[in-house]
Structure 1
């Protein structure tokens, strides 16, 4: 698969590179977070949310609404699933990493998605990006043996446990956490997820 760069014009339909932020303290604090052999996601980390840049991310990035700052770290080479939110997501790459992304508009009426439409983008270390609400995404892929580290900023409560019942049909069946709609690949065997990805479970070599 061709790996493009988030600075390429082809990324503009999915998101944008952020300017005007000082991520240095955030990158330094992330060095204390684990990089497991699999993938770990933590929605909210007090030490990250206490940094000065958190206020800038809340006000400039999300228009002043409450946010959470967490991380997704580990080792991954596969697509496995795609998710989307009703809001943008901000990612800050602590290491070089690759995002496998697509468009929500390409989800079919029966809530399946053809993985041949996925595109790959390199996010260089130190780069912050906004990923638009209509952009399908999931865990990053590492491009180096040491794994990947990625800061994840979202509206507060996103990706936390559901506290209400959801329907088992239509788009409601994709809701696996608050503000998180997920379509999985059957190869990933994600418990409780709808296996609606059709085609190859894409791997980044």
Structure 2
């Protein structure tokens, strides 16, 4: 993407994030107490921009913000060190982003209206996982392989009238099989069609779901 496109896409990503509502969530949880510079909203902006530009390290994120005035205006800070980014990334509980996700899903339901939600959104759910490799020495709890750690992000995507959005996201260590997360991702609704690959094969669960009419 060129710089103009990046700015446009970035603003489209940021637009649905109701900063006042998110700030109330953050204040209620006391997550930004005594923070002067890198609050959660600024951190989120920085990593959304990094994702769009494929900045694959904290150092690159830090250097890009420091060098480019346009990025500073988009993100909301003039400079930040990689160590500050690392500490903030470590300290933010992942649950706050789950709350933000659920808030966005509620907004989508409100925009589409209850009639469309009840008739369309529940019909097709796409289930899959993505594996994120990590450093074994720093994340020993994230059981994966002998030489590296990792987590899996198991995602259920709702599909409606050409629009898709995450319905549920579960994190787990990378080693356990995908099918261990089926119960958490399946929607107990007879009108829902679930689509997933062979990683989720478990015939005992399939039989139980069938008996329940899923």
Give TM class, smaller chain. under 0.3
- TM-score (norm. length: structure 2): 0.27
Q: What TM-score do you get using the length of structure 1 for normalisation?
A: 0.28
Determine which structure has the larger strand proportion and give its number: 1
* Structure with a larger share of its residues in helix: 2
Higher relative contact order (CA 8 A, sep 6+): 1
